[in-house]
A and B are shown apart, each in its own frame.
Chain A
Amino acid sequence: MTEKLSAETSLRGYAGVLTTQKLPYGLVPAELCPVIHCVKSLNHLADRDVVALNPNGYVRTLFRVASEHNVLFATDRCNSFCLMCSQPPRDVDDSDRLSEHLRLIELIDPRTREMGITGGEPTLLKDGLIHIVRKCKEFLPQTAIHILSNGRLFYYGSYAHNLAEVGHTDLMVGIPLYADTDHEHDYIVQSRGAFDETMVGFQNLGRHGVAVEVRVVTHRLTVHRLENLAEFIYRNLPFAAHVAFMGLETVGFAVPNIETLWVDPWDYRHELEQATRYLADRGMHVSIYNHQLCTLPVSIWTYSRMSISDWKNEYLPICSACTARERCGGFFSSSIRARHSEHIGPFEVLPA
């Protein structure tokens, strides 16, 4: 990675070259290492970041040292088709990406605190996912691994068992659950039988001692039975290490489905308060993500986390006058443009 490259620069030992310069053809012999020139900007990259260079000149940043939110995109495929999917799946054969993932893990800074594995649906890599976790255990023993999965393939007890067998000591599988009954959940994830598979998946992971997190996206189809869902979670998944209520992100499929999904967070603040309290009062570990403090009852502020990935986080102009801004989760940059609560208003004084 360089701003200035000349014929004298020694490139021995480099895996590739990225430069903003326009280079004369042949300056670097192609057999020495791949070179991509005329890159618009390299400001977002730092030492020890990992990038992938494509022969067509496409540069993908796979890992940023400066970020707390590094994610390995295991696959673009998915076996669900959620109405609000933020990363709409593509039906492509990307099974050859496994070797890239395994190579990436070797290159990641071992001091990394946390890394996500997401997709698409990572479990579609089948044993590949188990390889990835095993490799993480080997190369990144100090890095917490969070897999975001719909949990459906853990319906197969042997698969849950295989994941547990890796013996990763800081592994959590986050699995979305949208309803306390099957048809409602199946509708939201647009897949018949998904609820059953996910619920059995939860149980199998729990039985094998893999930590699980329950993720609930709050939108018009989930909020009216939110407390019932909390009760269902407490009764059926009391072993869950964490329950997260997540605000809707207006990207991906949420854009075309916005009329079906949108509800002003202000309008479900009581439901969210009830559900949060229900779980917290019973000793479960609860968080609220992607919500603005001015839409939340003060009694549940303590569960609200600053969670939005660093590169997606923004505030409205009126937020600059807000005394709660330091503690406020703010907005997704996508959502701030699309639609946000009509009840955003700064706190002149911080509520007690």
Chain B
Amino acid sequence: MNSPLEGGCTLTGALSVTTEIEGAVTVIHGPAGCAHHNFSLFHALCAGRDDPVLPAIVSTDLSESDIIFGGEESLERTIREVAAAGNCSLVCVLQTCVSGAIGDDVDSVCGEDYGVPVVPIPTAGFLGGGFHDGHVRALLSLVPPARGGKKTISANIVGEKTLEFEREAHYGEVSRLLSAIGVPVCTRFVCRSSVEGISRLPQGAVNILRDPSMVAVGEHLEAEFGTPYVSSFPLGPSGTICFLEELGEILSLDVSTAVAGEEARQERIFWEFRHLRGERIRFGEASGHADSLGACREIAEAAGMAIHPSGRQVPVPDPFPVGTGGIRKVLSLWRRACRARV
């Protein structure tokens, strides 16, 4: 599934982060409607993944009189209720258009003592951006305070698109590549993380961003903890090799064996698909980002396919499958397209 990257509402973007955190409850400060349709969306997604967990979302359920007299009391009451219900290790507070427009002082309400950490995330619905902005702001708001924790040779995975169907496959491929160079994952910020996991963020020696749209988060973490970042998951054959080399450089590791192993693996895949040699293809109109297109060209070339305007149209998958494993997925898709009789 494609996530609505640019449009939509900051609330949904932020929820894509906060609902991933184990033990966290998200309070949506606004009318029930804002929570309702988001709840439905996340619920449907979980169900689609055979993941029967209900998203932990609570609405402050503002009524007209809250709009007129201010919604701060409702917010405080709701946070207290959530905290008192126990079994919650973090409360995230998101604003909607309405609470943003009437100017509730959410930060100071969140600053009270509730016995549980409460993190306000500046969203305010449509105010100040869309889905992507909400995603980034949620991550920035959740960055743990720098504690003296020592860095270890390990990597953090930062800014995964939690609503992507393929996210676990992407993650699996990246962690396979990491283990090939002997680097464990320190924490995922924030796919399926716990509060404890998030607090380990400063200990990672490198941050691997999901894609370049997360650079703002990478920059912030670098300024905060001095952790360098790699700006994207690897795409395509040379992208995957460069990824390993870049990590080797940052972490001062010799990655030549891993690189050789990966190159051999890629060779095997191209051999597996040798029957595609000589096929004439072209890429679909709606093809995604420049990076994906570059990776497509490289894969086609290495597979001995010819890119030609009159060739058979093949898809450029979005999200583009990651790493060497992704090459096989792309080639299988193309094989299907080439074999389809029109």
A and B pair up: no
A interface residues with partner B (beta carbon < 8 Å): none
B interface residues with partner A (beta carbon < 8 Å): none
